Structure 1
């Protein structure tokens, strides 16, 4: 009988004692070493990418014609008196004419190390770092919750749809997923706003909570946060669940035809165990890789959704910065968003390395 490929985690099941068991220790050590080498290589790649993003954030304002720092300082001086500390901070971020580029870069890195992004021109005299600290938790909560829900919902429906391709349920879910996946975030947000906030005033149309309430862990405040966040969350889930469903469905169709699934059926294992422990477990690996790739898209979609619903996160801050030509805030948000996407991708990439041994075979 020819050797049969077993699903992940099943290859060593039933191995007896003796020489093979004695070799398990060194084999486990090699596997751990392989994982560590792969993770270190990927960490180096992401650190290099982060360095490029930080450098671009430094270079782009200095490629602008004229002296951006002087323009920003002039705009600030029209509202209030600019202190020497504020002027020093702005010039460190946007250029000092009498310093060479290397000195400016070192000052810029020093400012970033102290989380000093200057003063916002749109919200003067509030520092940019305070604005980001206020908006970042809202965006992180929205993106993390909606990404997990869309992933679980789409993956679960994809398992059901791909387990019986061509069935009545599959003939409904597959076209529906294609339709949902083709809808842009901005359009979905606008339609939900018109349907469930303007025509049918079921949910609030803007803000993150009722401004008449005192922020805290009271039932009234938590209920208000959920009500105000429902439409932005629904926008992201509706726009992204179709991609997860189609990806999992297609992988399930391929996986259920594998030899190890046929072997499990020949052994008389239950249909549910075969689908979950054999087919779905292996078909889910590309989904994890897709999670890393899609994080940037989800973040971009959340920015659009926040702008439509005036949700008090990073997206709405970015919209206000663009409208008001708030360059310090725009520069800081560009860097924060870039680094956040890199961190999320590294986490998803690391999880994939831990789940799939094939990614570290050549380590």
Structure 2
């Protein structure tokens, strides 16, 4: 119980620190979202007065003329009420609405691709490490080569050959624009068709790391005393592989999977840009380009919460899977 309480306390402090940094960093950056909106208003022939500036400042989440402590308290209060401000890039849309529209696309695409890459890599790594030196080892250079290739270059190559030359997949977009988004078979089939090529890019680029890591852990685990004892007892190779070797070798991959799963929310910015996919990655790049601090702040907050949440869940599960972790803590 003490182990779990200590973990919960650590993540509470980490959450507070993340929220504080999320508040401070945009205010340390050059520029001001209020000035950006006022500049756009002037370009359209509008008149800017002190009252106009005050109204825009309040609209975007508070008056920056207030003391920093008051702004911090207002920021925390707005978070408790789910108010992340107004997006400059998609004005007058709320940041929560912009994130809500983009988040499901990234979670489905990158989430499924990450799970597929992890499961495929860990499974292949277990078999390759179980019999090192066989023909299966020839898979490792090919997969690690794909992992070393620049992400955007791999995406462009796959887009050119599989989409433009062979025509197997659509080149850009998240679904057929003639369809109305909704939970119907036609739209879901279109979304799967459009998302298959970006997902394939993510799987090919990341499966090599999972395979190599699991393979090396399996080779190391095979020399442990408990594996040698299991073999000496006459247990079947399948039993030794499943219940002794792979069960312990997979533990480091579980921790790595937590980090990868947390970063699913951040999406794959490059992949989404190459394929013009309507996910969080494109929104984040647009927010940086347009100095949309409210949207950047909201996206960073969602990413931080996802990473902390995923690591908290895996830390709790890790303590249940491996009792030695609780004993050392």
TM-score normalised by length of structure 2: 0.89
Match of 1:57 among 16, 22, 29: 22
Do the aligned partners of 1:73 and 1:90 also contact (CA within 8 Å) in 2?
no
Structure 1: distance between partners of 2:261 and 2:150: 15
From the superposition, tell whether residues 280 and 180 of structure 1 become closer, same or farther in structure 2 (CA, over 3 Å): same
2:60 is the alignment partner of 1:96: no
Root mean square deviation, CA, Å: 2.4
Which deviates further from its counterpart, 143-152 or 128-137?
Answer: 143-152
Do the aligned partners of 1:206 and 1:228 also contact (CA within 8 Å) in 2?
yes
Shift of residue 197 of structure 1? 1.7
What aligned pairs does 1:9-48 form with structure 2 within 5 A after superposition? Answer: 33=1, 37-48=2-13
Which deviates further from its counterpart, 319-328 or 305-314?
Answer: 319-328
From the superposition, tell whether residues 198 and 133 of structure 1 become closer, same or farther in structure 2 (CA, over 3 Å): same
What aligned pairs does 1:65-214 form with structure 2 within 5 A after superposition? Answer: 65=30, 68-75=32-39, 77-78=41-42, 87-92=57-62, 96-97=64-65, 99-170=66-137, 172-214=138-180
Shift of residue 251 of structure 1? 0.9
Do the aligned partners of 2:130 and 2:219 also contact (CA within 8 Å) in 1?
yes
Do the aligned partners of 1:236 and 1:298 also contact (CA within 8 Å) in 2?
no
For residues 323-353 of structure 1, give each alpha carbon's deviation from its aligned partner in whole angstroms, at most 9, with x where no partner exists.
3332322222122222222212222222222
Structure 2: distance between partners of 1:358 and 1:136: 37
Structure 1 residue runs of 4 or more that deviate by more than 3 Å after TM superposition: 75-87, 293-301
Do the aligned partners of 1:69 and 1:91 also contact (CA within 8 Å) in 2?
no
From the superposition, tell whether residues 104 and 51 of structure 1 become closer, same or farther in structure 2 (CA, over 3 Å): same
Do the aligned partners of 2:87 and 2:294 also contact (CA within 8 Å) in 1?
yes
Do the aligned partners of 1:295 and 1:341 also contact (CA within 8 Å) in 2?
yes
For residues 19-59 of structure 1, give each alpha carbon's deviation from its aligned partner in whole angstroms, at most 9, with x where no partner exists.
xxxxxxxxxxxxxx3xxx22222222222222222112211
Do the aligned partners of 1:86 and 1:118 also contact (CA within 8 Å) in 2?
no
Do the aligned partners of 2:162 and 2:168 also contact (CA within 8 Å) in 1?
yes
Structure 2: distance between partners of 1:264 and 1:194: 51
Corresponding residue for residue 23 of structure 1: none
2:314 is the alignment partner of 1:348: yes
Shift of residue 107 of structure 1? 0.9
Shift of residue 297 of structure 1? 5.9
Shift of residue 91 of structure 1? 4.5
Do the aligned partners of 2:265 and 2:306 also contact (CA within 8 Å) in 1?
no
Question: Which blocks of at least 5 consecutive residues in structure 2 are unaligned?
Answer: none
Shift of residue 86 of structure 1? 5.5
Match of 1:290 among 251, 256, 267: 256
Shift of residue 217 of structure 1? 2.9
What aligned pairs does 1:228-267 form with structure 2 within 5 A after superposition? Answer: 228-267=194-233
Do the aligned partners of 2:110 and 2:267 also contact (CA within 8 Å) in 1?
no
